[in-house]
Amino acid sequence: MIDHFCYSCKYSSGVETLNNYSIKPFYFFLIISFLGFCGCDKKLLIKDDSHPHYSIGFSQCTSGDLWRQIMNREMAREASLFPEITLTIKDGQQNNQKQIADIQQLIEQRVDLLIVSPNEAAPITPVVEQAHRSGIPVVLIDRKISSAAYTAYIGGDNVAIGREAGNHIQRLLKGKGKILEIWGLKGSSPAVERHKGFAEIIESSLGIKIIDGGDGQWLSEVSEQLAEQAFAKHSDIDLVYAHNDVMAFGAKKVAQRKGIEKQIRFIGIDALPTEDGGIQMVLDGVLDATLLYPTGGEVAIQTAMKILKNEPFDREITLETVLVDTTNARVLKLQTDQILNQQDKIEAQQEILDQQLLKYETQQERFIITLVGFGVVLIVVFFIVRAYWLIKKINIELAEKNEAINQQKEELSLQRDQLVEMHQKVKEVNDLKIQFFTNISHEFRTPLTLILGTLDQLKQSNKGNGGSHKKMRLMQRNAERLLRLINQLMDFRKLDEGKMLLKACKHDIVSFIEDICQAFDVMAELKQIALTFNYQNEKIDVWFEDEKIDKVIFNLLSNAFKFTPEGGCIAVTVRCTMNTDIETQTQEFVEIAVRDNGIGIPKDKLQKIFEPFYEVEHEGRNRYRGTGIGLALSKGLVELHHGEISVENCEDGGSCFIVQLPLGNSHLSAAEMTEDEIINLFHPQVSGPQTIVASENPNKLNAVSKTNATTEKDAPLLLVIDDNPDIIEFIKSCFEGVYRIAEAADGKAGYAQAISHMPDLIISDVMMPEMDGIEFCEKIKGDLRTSHIPVILLTAKSSEENVMEGFETGADYYITKPFSEKLLQVRVRNLLQSRAKLKEYFSQNLEFYSDDKSIQSIDKKFIDRVIETIDNNLHNSELNVDSLGKELGLTRVHLYRKIKNLTGHTPSEFIRLVKLKKATEIMRNTELSVAEIAFKVGFETPSYFTKCFREHYKQTPSEYISQKM
């Protein structure tokens, strides 16, 4: 039936999706039925429970002893007789703070009545008073507090119990003896009152002395410790009086261990009827007597119900006591056992009754659910039949609508595909356009290298010709303009592909913009334009990459000069401002405004001015046409800095471009920041050897230039590799009369030249046929024979990825085209000087395990390997160049060149130097003779060893040894 009901609901749900109006009555009925069923409390289904419900909280000071455990059970048993009671018991664990927290929690839970058995009177009093003030009735049991702020008290008369104990002890001791009194908890009212009543009686007997045994904390373990100490101090104790049975039992165990239990009598208080309670202890002879102290658990619940029901009750309820000794213990035990058995039977019957009630409730609930389910099924069947006819009608209407919708979807899908195809074609055309300009830009860099480099040489060689200088400056200016356009295209390509990275550091934006403005002073003077620079603060620190912001400001100023007529004015303003955007209104920006009074921009063109390749057409002003990427590039560079760029027309004519850059660096990621200042390289004049060398046949590649035989042997040899003969000729002209030059047209031929000639330095292009510069550099640096040769790579590729690729192959320097002649000369000179210093280091210092960072790791590893090989063959007097080369895997020729290039010594000289160095170590650390040392380091005769030693160290081995002594 339930499955059928669920299926009907699902089916009806499907009907509702087709016609909301037709199925609403059905769902209305289901909701009402469900809410009505959920609203039926199961108690109301069974019986009319007109009794109110009460919540009683009981804060027990501790449940660690048997007496209080029985109190807890009695309360729970009595509470079970009242169905309207919910009893919550909290265990204070004999800790004042824990009990205070428990009572506070019960107050916050708003219990209807609070029962408290205080751990100690004074500490618990404030929180009990708080409960009483808040209107919660408070019943104290067993112990009182330090005030009268309670509703009722239930407990034995502890003073009377103490007196009864005193009277019984007087009879036992006959007015003479020593009594050890073990207290319960000295801060609790039962302990204080039991001592008080006991002391009143005993003090009247002058022959009886009370020994204070200390605070037993109601626990047997603590009582044992106190009894141990007391028995050790007092050997004449006649009787132990403990404030409860368990402490008396603890003292009895100590006496049994000491063998004095027969001479001491033991009296306790509680007289619990359990198997290990006080009555049983008297029957077993463990205690001589105990006094009944009722727990009062049942009375506490009964009194609580009278208070809650506003029935009369006694505020002070005193529980009666009785002395239990061997005369009445058996009778009391039988009576209590019968009572406990009756209570167990009552609890069992109550449990059976609860089970029967639960079964009755379950059966009645099932019956009602069955009735409700049957009614729902009938209604569902009715609506299913009705829905069937509605669905049939609606399906016909839906089929017609679906057909119309499908037709519309097909039309929209076709239009979307057409738009996607058109967008893809536009993107492909745009990518091809940018790729074309990028490729052309790369190709332009090589001729520009030749043009700018040749112009530099011509300007230096024609210092006195003013007319020629003017023309050369014109050529240089236009060549540099062409280079800027090329760089713009390549930067725009990187921005478009998302490959341009930001490396910002902190600069003073005011001085930075001022320097750029000063670069336009000459142009302003020529066009008679008033260029002004205004700033709010003398210094504003901004995080930006100077190269990129330089391009932005340069573009904006170039546009301003382009569109401002002669006699006009251009104003550049730098100030701090707050962004007016709601989302970033709390962020402070620096604002750079470039304002002119030129021809302005039509209003309908303002939104398109920053689009790539977009140019504003001015009627009759074709001279203003440009590439259309300058402003698009500027926008991309500003946004790369998380800034904004905008344009607006001025009221008095002209336009104003505004750049906003955020202050601080919170908007930048760690990868976008660097603490290194960007260095503007200035390359000093190159001064080098004045040996004149020219090319024997400048048009023939793969040959060494030879002109001056007297200097050819000494001048460093450069290997230049490029597939463009003009580039080779230009590089040769840069080093004419300074170095020897070897040439190669591609990487394959260059590698062969490097193996055969062992040049001092290699300058190689990257993009070449046969073998490109990257592969060539990898082979050179990976070959042990040539790994020491410095390599400079020349390329038209200027992106960071290309530069990193070059350095990863082991290149020593990476220069992008077009490059400065001075830059190339300085880099070559510095690398050769570093190589010369390295050679000097290796030739003069055989302590090769140095931390000198200028020594390349691959060269140091090679020298370390050579020294290690010599050390391993130190005793071998026949070690020579051939055997050393065989060990290292090099031919005699290549080993000679490698060691000669690195150390300045021949291999034979280097072997001898290593042996001599080893000999000095042996002399310092041993007492061997000169002859023994000579043979040990591989010299054939001591005389030859002495000769070599004197030549190198300028003293004989004997003199060196005596100097050491």
Predicted confidence band of residue 766 (pLDDT cuts 50, 70, 90): confident
- Is 439 part of any domain? no
692 versus 77: the higher-pLDDT residue is: 77
Q: Could you report the per-residue pLDDT of 809-837, keeping only the tens digit for each?
A: 778 887 877 777 788 888 888 888 877 77
Distance CA 754, CA 758 (A): 5
Least confident of 413-427, 617-631, 864-878: 617-631
If asked whether residues 507 and 648 sit together in one domain, one would say: yes
Number of H helices, E strands in the chain: 31, 24
Higher pLDDT, 457 or 580: 457
- Of residues 714 and 22, more confidence is placed in 714
Residue 703, pLDDT above cutoff 80 = no
Domain coverage including residue 569: 502-672
- Which of 135-144, 423-432, 526-535 shows the lowest per-residue confidence on average (mean pLDDT)? 423-432
Position 84 pLDDT exceeds 80: yes
* 3-state SS assignment for residue 404: helix
C-alpha 764/C-alpha 743 separation (Å) is: 10
pLDDT band (50, 70, 90) for residue 652? confident
Long-range pairs for 509-513 at CB < 8 Å and ≥24 separation?
A: 509/540, 509/541, 509/542, 509/544, 509/574, 509/590, 509/592, 509/661, 510/535, 510/537, 510/538, 510/539, 510/540, 510/574, 511/539, 512/546, 512/549, 512/550, 513/553, 513/572, 513/574, 513/592
834 lies in the same domain as 870 = no
739-754 average pLDDT score: 88
Is 70 exceeded by the pLDDT of residue 27? Answer: no
Looking at residue 640, which CATH number applies to its domain? Answer: 3.30.565.10
Q: Please name the amino acid found at residue 523.
A: M
Query: What percentage of the chain has pLDDT greater than the value 90?
Result: 22
Structure tokens that stand for 766 in this block: 């990257």
- Classify 424 as helix, strand or coil: helix
Largest CA distance in the chain: 146
Q: Does residue 44 lie in a domain region?
A: no
How far apart are the C-alpha atoms of 827 and 838, rounded to whole Å? 16
Length of the chain, in residues = 965
- Whether the CA torsion 170, 172, 177, 178 is positive or negative: it is negative
Domain assignment of residue 818, yes or no: yes
Q: Are residues 215 and 241 in the same domain?
A: yes
Q: Are residues 519 and 664 in the same domain?
A: yes
pLDDT at site 708: 37
Q: Are strands 239-242 and 177-183 parallel, antiparallel or unpaired?
A: parallel
Burial zone of 47 (CB within 10 Å; 0-12 exposed, 13-18 middle, 19+ buried): exposed
Q: Which of 284, 304, 329 is the C-terminal boundary of a domain?
A: 329
pLDDT value of position 47 = 42
HSE-up of 713 (CA within 13 Å, CB side)? 2
DSSP state of 835: H
Q: Which of 86, 143, 94 is closest to 113 using CA atoms?
A: 86
Residue 53 forms beta bridges with which residues? none
Separation of alpha carbons 649 and 202, rounded Å:
113
Is 879 a domain residue? yes
Same domain, 648 and 534: yes
62 Cβ neighbours under 8 A, 6+ residues apart: 68, 91, 92, 93, 94, 119, 218
| Residue 200 to residue 222: CA distance in whole angstroms | 26
Q: Which of 116-125, 239-248, 388-397, 444-453 has the lowest mean pLDDT?
A: 444-453
pLDDT at 702 (0 to 100):
38
What pLDDT, in 10s, does the model give residues 157-212?
A: 889 999 999 999 998 888 889 999 999 888 788 899 899 999 999 988 888 999 99
Contact yes or no for 130/143 (Cβ under 8 A): no
131 pLDDT exceeds 90?
yes
Query: H/E element holding 403?
Result: helix 329-461
Q: Are residue 563 and residue 658 in the same domain, yes or no?
A: yes
**Does residue 415 come out as left (phi exceeding 0), alpha (psi in the -120 to 50 range) or beta?**
alpha
- pTM score > 0.85 for this model? no
Between CA 31 and CA 875 the distance in angstroms is 105
| CA atoms of 940 and 187, how far apart (whole Å) | 104
User: pLDDT confidence of 659, banded at 50, 70, 90?
Assistant: very high
Q: What average pLDDT does this structure show over 472-500? A: 70
Cα 465 to Cα 182, 451, 453, 462, 472: the distances in Å are: 124, 19, 19, 6, 11
Task: Give domain status of residue 601, yes or no.
Answer: yes
Same domain for 634 and 736, yes or no, is: no
Say how many C-beta atoms besides its own lie within 10 A of residue 235's C-beta: 10
> d(Cα 920, Cα 926) in Å, to the nearest integer?
10
Most confident range, picked from 27-31, 505-509, 909-913: 505-509
E strand map for 493-568: 505-508, 530-535, 541-544
Helix (H/G/I), strand (E/B), else coil: 616: coil
DSSP E strands, 524-568: 530-535, 541-544
Q: How confident is the model at residue 838 (pLDDT cuts 50, 70, 90)?
A: low
- DSSP letters, 694-712, are --SSTT-SSSB--S-HHHH
Whether residues 664 and 759 fall in one domain = no
End residue of a domain, out of 785, 814, 842: 842
For residue 288, what is the domain's CATH number?
3.40.50.2300
What is the pLDDT confidence band of residue 265, given thresholds at 50, 70 and 90? very high
The strand pair at 588-596 and 655-662 is best described as antiparallel
554 shares a domain with 626 = yes
- Residue 114 banded pLDDT, cuts 50, 70, 90: very high
Q: Which 8-state DSSP code applies to residue 205?
A: -
Distance of alpha carbon 812 from the chain centroid: 38
Closest CA to 121 of 104, 107, 142, 90: 142
273 falls within a domain? yes
User: Residue 28, Cβ neighbours under 10 Å: how many?
Assistant: 10
Determine the residue type at 185: L
Residue 109, domain member (yes or no): no
Alpha-helix residue ranges (DSSP H) falling in 259-325:
278-283, 297-308
- 660 & 733 share domain: no
The torsion region of residue 653 among left (phi > 0), alpha (psi -120 to 50) and beta comes to: left
Domain of 924, CATH number, reads 1.10.10.60
Same domain for 526 and 664, yes or no, is yes
Residues in Cβ contact with 209 at an 8 Å cutoff, skipping those fewer than 6 apart: 177, 178, 179
| pLDDT of res. 466 | 62
- Could you give phi then psi for residue 404, rounded to 5 degrees? -65, -40
pLDDT of residue 272: 86
Order of strands across the sheet that contains 569-578: 530-535, 569-578, 588-596, 655-662, 644-649
Residue 41 CA, chain-centre distance (Å), reads 53
Q: Which of 617, 650, 672 delimits the end of a domain?
A: 672
pLDDT(71) > 70: yes
CB 888 within 8 A of CB 865: yes
Taking Cα atoms as reference points, which of 329, 321, 182, 170 lies closest to residue 244? Answer: 182
| Positions of E strands within 195-277 | 208-215, 239-242, 265-270
Of 555, 639, 649, 547, which is closest to residue 600 (Cα–Cα)? 649
pLDDT confidence band for 427 (50 / 70 / 90):
confident
Nearest-angstrom CA–CA distance, 109 and 55: 9
Residue 409 within a domain = no
Structure tokens that stand for 733 in this block: 């002209």
| pLDDT, tens digit (0-9, with 9 covering 90-100), for 556-611 | 998 888 888 888 899 999 999 876 554 555 578 999 999 998 888 888 777 778 87
Q: Strand 505-508 vs strand 316-319: parallel, antiparallel, or unpaired?
A: unpaired
In this prediction, residue 109 carries a pLDDT of: 92
The type of residue at 2 is I
Give the chain's domain count. 4
The pLDDT confidence band at residue 694, using thresholds 50, 70 and 90, is: very low
Helices marked H in 619-703 = 630-640
634 and 734 housed in the same domain: no
Residue 211's pLDDT is 92
